[in-house]
Each structure stands twice: as C-alpha cells, then as structure tokens.
Amino acid sequence: MAMVEWFVKGKEFGNCNCSYGCPCQFNALPTHGNCMAAVGYQIDEGRFGDVRLDGLRAAAIYKWPAAVHQGNGTMQLIIDESADDRQRDALVAVMTGKETKDMATVWWVYSAMCPTKRAPLFKPIEFKVDVDGRRARLVVPGILETVGEPIRNPVSGAEHRARIDLPNGFEYRFGEVGSGTTKATGDIPLDFQKSWGLFANIHLSHAGVVA
C-alpha cells in the first residue's frame, strides 16, 4: 500500500532538561542521564494527503528514563482544538511516525523510542515563537507552560547567540540555541529552569527534512 505523502513547514521551540549545548545534538549522553522535553509547533503550511494543515498548532511532551536512543520513553501529543477530525487524525499520524520512512524524522524516532503513549489531548494551544529573536511562549492551560529566551552573558547580561548546523539532521538544518523553562502538570510532569532551548524553522515530509 502506497505511503500517504505529507509535509509540514513552520516553526518550533523545544526545551529539554539538558545543559546548553544539548548532548543529543552531538551523539552524546544526556547531561543528567535522562531526557525530558516539551516542544511546540506552529504549522504555517502543511498537507497530509488531501488534508490541509495550514495554521494549526501542536505540542508534545516526552520523558525517557535514560538517553532517547535507549528507549522506554513516555510521550503525549497535544493537538490544536480548532483542528477538525481529519486534521487531528493527520497530525497524530505524522507525529507518531506513521506514513513516514524509517528514521526519517524526529517524530518517527521519538515515537519509536516511546512505547508508552498517553492518549492525545485536543486543547487550546497558545504558541508564539520568534526563531531569530530566540523567544517563545507555549501554553496549554492547566497542562503545560514553556518559555524560551536568549542565553545571556553572565557578566554583562548581553544576549548571547549560538547556532547549530546539522546537514544530515532529522529535525532541522539550522537551529538557534537559547534557554528554556518548563512546567508541566499533566500525565507527564516536568519541571526545569534555564536549560537547553532550541528554536528552528522546520520543513519536514514523509521522506525527512526538506532541504
């Protein structure tokens, strides 16, 4: 059976519990031995087969007892409540790695490493992100709040800018590094401050990152 072709073009902000310079970006073990993260997505343009995804938002919460590649993780998706039934089904499929070539996207990998999947939530999502400015705010009322900001020089307080270039990455090509703070109180509780934050423009498809 032919794979459903899809693409998503937009912006993301992710915050995990690792120190700045997240070891996962360099195939190293996580700072504290485990991995926890919250990620928000703004879809500017997208399609899943004949289902349009333009203007929708989504979020994901992840938690692994060790490194991501060691598996045994738990995840939960949160989909924009304004999405209709077909859009909801499409986003859940994409973000759980369905209709995707093996290991082609971050969503495929994270889903494969999370055998425990909490039921998706369909909630209002407030998400504002400025990739170049390294600022973001992600709120799902009663469940999740994440704030992203620039890293600052510890002496002068000036904004510090660093970028990551991943030519063969499965999530993005260029990422802006920042600082994030997350509090989640739902099925997957999270609580970390001023840890790794990543701002990126994304363009993903069933075949991977679109150059």
pLDDT tens for residues 102-114? 999 999 999 999 9
User: Read out DSSP for the chain?
Assistant: -PPPPEEEEEEEEEEESSPSS-GGGGT---TTSSEEEEEEEEEEEEEETTEE-TT-EEEEEEEESS-GGG---EEEEEEETTS-HHHHHHHHHHHTTTTS-TT-SHHHHHHHT--EEPPPEEE--EEEEETTTTEEEEEETTTEEEEEE-EE-TTT--EE-EEEE-TT-SS-SEEEEEEEEEEE-SSS-EEEEEEEEEEEEEEEETTEE--
Whether the per-residue pLDDT at 1 is higher than 70: the answer is no
Give the type of residue at 45.
E
- Please determine, for residue 115, whether its predicted confidence score (pLDDT) is greater than 80: yes
Q: Residue 98 above 80 pLDDT?
A: yes
Q: Do the strands 74-80 and 116-117 form a parallel or antiparallel pair, or are they unpaired?
A: parallel
In whole angstroms, give the CA distance from residue 125 to residue 39: 12
Angstrom distance (rounded) from CA 211 to CA 209 = 6
Sign of CA dihedral 51, 81, 135, 133: positive
Bridge partners (DSSP) listed for residue 158: none
User: 6-209 maps to which CATH number?
Assistant: 2.40.400
pLDDT for 150-207, tens place per residue? 999 999 999 999 999 999 999 999 999 999 999 999 999 999 999 999 999 999 999 9
